[in-house]
């Protein structure tokens, strides 16, 4: 028997080892005593999905008494999966509609300065609906639809049907439109700059497969990320593969270098070499490394000449010919406080070995956040390994299980914000209205109506906002500069919030509508943001608490008040939509002949729903072999990037024409407005707010899980 493995056979071996459980067939998800009907059960088990994975809920006497993962994919514990009951029965549930006292007494003069401190008055659901509709009509008549802000970003339900943000946008579009937002909090800077550099937003793209990385890379650099914590969640229902691959990285014995101001859980778990630059100095450190590569003639000149454009225009800046400041390792060391020797050694280590750099997003959530990932791509271009199997860079390994090999799958669609059902996709990035401003500018927009700002080469003028409708998020927690937002939030005449809990955002509203948790309503979701490893039902497990309603119910009733109910619902109930999404995926599966090729059976919807178990799709060989930028490296002419040149743009002529003084045409070190290197710094410490291990932003903060870690 030969012991020599071809690359393809090697990958097949890796695939067989790594794709459990999703490489197995559907019976993997068989749940004992699964319910076989559409009714809410009093006793038994229900399979559902959450941001933290596919769950098995145990129901006794009509209550959830236990939640656990349906299958464990790694030995890394995920405590988020065990506190579903707390989420349903939390003491801070919004159980009934409430209106702020001053607003109820006089909506035309509602004393917005009392928002957050006024008394609450419980009202009937019908009265609340009519009040919202009347005040919305009044606002639109007086100031037009652009005076209604319904941006509403947040980590809403992972289900495709009860997508609060899309349901809100759908309603608003039926009655004339609204003011929305552009981008998101997570990657607001990089998703703007990366299309100029790589021709794609990059931050939400599938990554080179983990199996390729584990087979080929000698050195893995994790720069500004904490995947041990963040891979416990996903935007849709997590496939939980990322933590398994993180375990395999640990077992592989590869050299792992961790660059982050904080020695966080990932660094400790991987026992990595820790390099801790000052916060917000990553660009300076990268420039120092690039200078060392150039001066030591250890950069890949052929790659630069073949696959990039503008290096010749960037080089004078790097060498200090344009500003009399050579970006030497010594210069970088003085800024980032990493010693010169370490910067040099790091540059040589990355060049001398097959290297994959996995970057997080924290470095771009800062002043001049456009620069870090642009600089990172330029550094990787000099290393010359972009497009080599398992090497180069990736910006989404820490998020939603990026790098998990794809499955061949029928894709479940979702309700759209317009009249046609176009699926979900990256819906939060899609411009749903003609009037919009950057999400992180909410406070600025509320405080400064009529102000004009620059944004990606264009001008945006803020409208005067008089009505806020928020659903599926908690901006008073995740927006920057909370004190400023509290001040801004008191400017509009009306604030309506659909909420499950009495969050800070709900407490700062005028009208609060009670909403169901994902466990009190029906829904459906893909398993895995990138890989599409399966479809899970999200069946209603228990009766609704109080007078809580599904978001779809609330917006359907509001649509009725405006005479557009039939247009909004298309005469379909929640379960009708869910069936339509599923049957669309089933049609795709038939066209791909998944049953004949892989033995994957998608039953008619009624049988799937009654079976109470997910469908598992089989990962493909192409998925295991996926090499991001591999085709581009093989033939940059036939497989160009989406940039004007078709190449990696180290220097962007498009950005040059914008003529911004705070974003040059090439990656640049700009001193942040606040950092520890300031001559007159206001404090001796820099606050770094990393993602927690034991909650999803503020979600699960109201459960008994908090008792396990709170001081």
Active site residues: 153, 155
Q: How far apart are CA 12 and CA 113, in angstroms?
A: 64
Burial class from Cβ neighbours inside 10 Å (0-12, 13-18, 19+) for residue 87 reads: buried
Q: Which two tokens stand for residue 239?
A: 């496939």
Burial class from Cβ neighbours inside 10 Å (0-12, 13-18, 19+) for residue 259 reads: buried
Q: Quote the strand ranges of 38-130, DSSP E.
A: 44-50, 53-60, 63-69, 98-100, 120-122
Burial class from Cβ neighbours inside 10 Å (0-12, 13-18, 19+) for residue 89 reads: middle
Q: How far apart are CA 169 and CA 555, in angstroms?
A: 10
Query: CB atoms < 10 A from the CB of 110, how many?
Result: 23
Q: Is 328 helix (H, G, I), strand (E, B) or coil?
A: coil
Q: How far apart are CA 161 and CA 155, in angstroms?
A: 15
Q: Is 594 helix (H, G, I), strand (E, B) or coil?
A: helix
Would you call the peptide bond into 11 cis, given omega within 30 degrees of 0 as the criterion? no
Q: Which two tokens stand for residue 238?
A: 């997590």
Q: How far apart are CA 74 and CA 210, in angstroms?
A: 15
Q: Is 513 helix (H, G, I), strand (E, B) or coil?
A: strand
Query: CB atoms < 10 A from the CB of 548, how many?
Result: 25
- What is the residue-wise DSSP string for 441-464? GHHHHHH-TT-EEEETTEEEEPPP
Report phi then psi at 388, rounded to 5.
-75, 145
Q: How far apart are CA 194 and CA 643, in angstroms?
A: 10
Residue labelled with tokens 């291990």: 693
Rounded to whole angstroms, the maximal C-alpha distance in the chain is: 86
- β-bridge pairing 44-50 and 53-60: antiparallel
Q: How far apart are CA 666 and CA 669, in angstroms?
A: 10
Q: Is 407 helix (H, G, I), strand (E, B) or coil?
A: strand
């Amino acid at each position: 028997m030969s012991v020599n493995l071809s690359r393809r056979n090697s990958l097949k071996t890796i695939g067989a080892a790594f794709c459990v459980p999703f490489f197995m067939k559907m019976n993997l998800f068989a749940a004992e005593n699964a319910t076989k009907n559409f009714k809410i059960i009093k006793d038994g088990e229900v399979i559902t999905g959450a941001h933290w994975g596919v769950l098995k809920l145990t129901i006794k006497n009509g209550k959830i008494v236990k939640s656990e993962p349906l299958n464990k994919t790694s030995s890394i514990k995920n405590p988020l999966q065990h506190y579903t009951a707390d989420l349903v029965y939390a003491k801070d549930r919004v159980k009934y509609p409430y209106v702020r006292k001053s607003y109820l007494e006089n909506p035309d003069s509602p004393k917005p300065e009392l928002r957050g401190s006024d008394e609450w008055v419980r009202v009937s659901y019908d009265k609340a609906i009519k009040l919202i509709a009347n005040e919305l009509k009044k606002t639109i008549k007086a100031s037009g639809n652009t005076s209604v802000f319904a941006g509403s970003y947040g980590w809403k339900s992972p289900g495709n049907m009860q997508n609060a943000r899309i349901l809100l946008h759908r309603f608003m579009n039926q009655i004339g439109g609204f003011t929305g937002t552009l981008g998101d909090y997570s990657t607001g800077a990089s998703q703007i700059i990366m299309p100029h550099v790589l021709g794609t937003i990059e931050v939400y793209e599938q990554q080179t497969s983990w199996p390729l990385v584990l087979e080929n890379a000698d050195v893995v650099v994790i720069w500004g990320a904490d995947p041990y914590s963040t891979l416990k969640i996903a935007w849709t229902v997590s496939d939980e593969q990322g933590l398994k691959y993180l375990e395999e990285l640990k077992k592989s014995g590869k050299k792992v270098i961790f660059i982050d101001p904080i020695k966080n859980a990932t660094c400790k778990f991987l026992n990595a070499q820790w390099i801790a630059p000052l916060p917000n100095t990553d660009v300076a450190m990268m420039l120092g490394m690039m200078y060392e590569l150039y001066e030591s003639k250890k950069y890949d000149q052929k790659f630069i000449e073949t696959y990039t454009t503008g290096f010749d225009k960037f080089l004078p800046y790097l060498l200090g010919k344009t500003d009399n400041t050579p970006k030497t390792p010594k210069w970088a060391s003085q800024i980032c406080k990493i010693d010169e020797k370490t910067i040099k050694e790091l540059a040589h280590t990355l060049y001398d070995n097959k290297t994959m750099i996995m970057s997080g997003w924290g470095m771009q959530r800062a002043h001049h956040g456009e620069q870090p990932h642009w600089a990172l791509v330029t550094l990787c271009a000099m290393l010359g390994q972009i497009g080599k199997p398992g090497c180069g860079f990736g910006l989404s390994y820490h998020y939603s299980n990026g790098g998990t090999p794809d499955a061949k799958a029928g894709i479940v669609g979702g309700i759209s914000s317009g009249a046609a059902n176009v699926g979900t996709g990256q819906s939060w990035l899609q411009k749903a209205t003609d009037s919009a401003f950057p999400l992180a500018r909410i406070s600025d927009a509320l405080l400064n109506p009529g102000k004009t700002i620059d944004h990606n080469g264009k001008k945006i003028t803020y409208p005067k906002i008089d009505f806020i409708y928020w659903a599926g998020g908690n901006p008073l927690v995740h927006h920057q500069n909370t004190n400023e937002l509290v001040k801004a939030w008191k400017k509009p005449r009306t604030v309506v919030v659909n909420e499950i809990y009495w969050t800070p955002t709900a407490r700062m509203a005028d009208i609060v509508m009670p909403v169901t948790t994902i466990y009190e309503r029906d829904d459906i979701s893909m398993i895995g943001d990138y890989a599409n490893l399966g479809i899970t039902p999200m069946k209603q497990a228990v009766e609704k608490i109080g007078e809580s309603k599904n978001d779809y119910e609330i917006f359907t009733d509001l649509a009725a008040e405006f005479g557009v109910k039939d247009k909004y619902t298309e005469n379909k109930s929640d379960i009708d939509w869910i069936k339509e999404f599923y049957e669309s995926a089933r049609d795709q599966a038939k066209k791909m002949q998944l049953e004949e090729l892989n033995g994957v059976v998608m039953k008619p919807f009624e049988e799937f729903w009654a079976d109470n178990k997910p469908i598992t799709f089989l990962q493909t060989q192409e998925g295991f072999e996926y090499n991001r930028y591999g085709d581009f490296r093989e033939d940059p002419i036939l497989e160009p990037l989406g940039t004007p040149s078709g190449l990696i743009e180290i220097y962007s002529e498009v950005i040059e024409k914008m003529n911004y003084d705070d974003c040059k045409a090439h990656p640049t070190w700009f001193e942040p407005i606040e950092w520890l290197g300031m001559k007159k710094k206001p404090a001796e410490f820099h606050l770094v707010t990393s993602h927690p291990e034991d909650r999803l932003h503020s979600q699960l903060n109201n459960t008994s899980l908090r008792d396990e870690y709170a001081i």
